[in-house]
Amino acid sequence: MSRTHSSPAGGAPLLQPAGATGEPVLAIEHLVKQYRGKAAPANDDVSLTAHAGRVLGVLGHNGAGKTTMVNQIVGLLRPTSGTIHVSGVDAVAHPARAREIVAVQAQANVPITGLTPRKAVELVGRIRGGEPRAVRRRTDQLLQALDLGPWADTPAEKISGGVARLTAFCMTVVQPAALVILDEPTNDVDPARRRLLWDAIRDTAAAGAAVLLVTHNVREAERTVDDLVVLDSGRVLAAGSPADLTTHLRGELFLELDGRDLPALPPGLRASVTRPAQSVVPVPAARGAEVVAWAQTAVERGEVERFALTPASLEDAYLELVGAGSEVAA
């Protein structure tokens, strides 16, 4: 899958190309991490490859093993077995060398007490070897792209969690890196700026970096990634583009029913997801009209509060893979 993305405000890309587009930058093979005292491994034979110029999403719910994998890539944890290479560097044998090639936005924000967002981003850019004027320019572009202008010069003590999270993203991408790892970067970010951040993540890949986006948010994955790995209980359940993962669901529709006391479904249909006040029911496309008529009658009778019939989404494919009981972030 390829996409064209313009840079913010039509200006130059945020980063200079970090490698030839398409070249493998991160290669993980048969990675196993077994924590002491735990019955099952947190990573269980995980293999994946992230390529220059592409966003690879790692999607999984809480406890799937995503952060464990990131911590091994950057040398904070040692794998039980398996290999990790970053731009050809053996990251298990030489974690410090691998870290020089990687920029990471960790799940927890780095404290920037005593600084403003602008100063924190510029400082990291300078520490990572950026030329002062280029760092200032890139900082301005990033702050503008994420609509952080109103807080750019506010002391860190007075900024919100969402602004701190966006600042951490800017600190991560202010200087080019071959591999950019973002561990749940949109946590705490408001919906409008979340979209700006998704665009900035796409820009980072468009400028040449391999981006590894760790998320439990299916819509974020759908909107942002080129390739996707679904992790569950430490294992890779599926890998491919979002389109690949939903192909087998083509020809299927999904009926969402909201209501506390839902009626019996039409013959032959069964809910795939049952939540306290919502059911999701797979419907063959050929039965779409019949099901809409049934749902409209149920609404008129007050048995259903609201319904929607939609084509299969990545969320449907994900729920099918990991099980209907899983939480899906909005």
Alpha carbon 65 to its chain's center: 14
Q: How far is CA 35 from CA 40, 106, 204, 277, in A?
A: 8, 20, 33, 38
Q: Does 60 bind ligand ATP (CB under 6 A)?
A: yes
Single-letter code of the amino acid located at 10 = G
Q: Does 165 bind ligand ATP (CB under 6 A)?
A: no
Single-letter code of the amino acid located at 156 = A
Stretch of 63-71, 84-92, 249-257, 282-290 lying at the interface with ligand ATP (CB under 6 A): 63-71
Of positions 7, 68, 186, 224, contacts ligand ATP by CB under 6 A: 68
Closer residue to ligand ATP in complex, CB, 53/60: 60
* Per-residue mark of binding to ligand ATP, 187-226 (x: CB under 6 A): -----------------------------x----------
* Per-residue mark of binding to ligand ATP, 9-38 (x: CB under 6 A): --------------------------x--x
Give the separation between CA 43 and CA 65, rounded to whole angstroms.
6
Of positions 7, 18, 19, 66, contacts ligand ATP by CB under 6 A: 66
Name the token pair of 318.
């994900």
- Cα-flanking dihedrals φ and ψ of residue 295, to 5°? -70, -40
Please report how close the Cβ of residue 276 comes to ligand ATP at its closest, in angstroms.
Answer: 23
Q: Does 125 bind ligand ATP (CB under 6 A)?
A: no
Q: Does 64 bind ligand ATP (CB under 6 A)?
A: yes
Sign of CA dihedral 90, 96, 101, 107: positive
Radius of gyration of the chain measured on its C-alpha atoms: 22
Please report how close the Cβ of residue 234 comes to ligand ATP at its closest, in angstroms.
Answer: 7
Of positions 42, 73, 124, 209, contacts ligand ATP by CB under 6 A: 42
CA nearest 102: which of 45, 186, 28, 166?
Answer: 28
Query: For residue 125, with 0-12 CB atoms within 10 Å meaning exposed, 13-18 middle and 19 or more buried, which class applies?
Result: buried
Q: Does 65 bind ligand ATP (CB under 6 A)?
A: yes
* Per-residue mark of binding to ligand ATP, 300-329 (x: CB under 6 A): ------------------------------
Give the interface size with ligand ATP as a residue count (CB under 6 A): 12
Give the separation between CA 59 and CA 184, rounded to whole angstroms.
10
Stretch of 16-24, 61-69, 119-127, 287-295 lying at the interface with ligand ATP (CB under 6 A): 61-69
Stretch of 64-72, 246-254, 290-298, 320-328 lying at the interface with ligand ATP (CB under 6 A): 64-72
Direct distance between the N- and C-terminal alpha carbons of the chain, in angstroms, rounded to an integer: 24
**Burial call 278-310: b when 16+ CB within 10 Å, e when fewer:** bbbbbbeeeeeeebeebbeebeeeebbeebebe
Of positions 4, 9, 39, 62, contacts ligand ATP by CB under 6 A: 62
Single-letter code of the amino acid located at 201 = I
Query: Which residues of this chain interact with ligand ATP, rule CB under 6 A?
Result: 35, 38, 42, 60, 62-68, 216
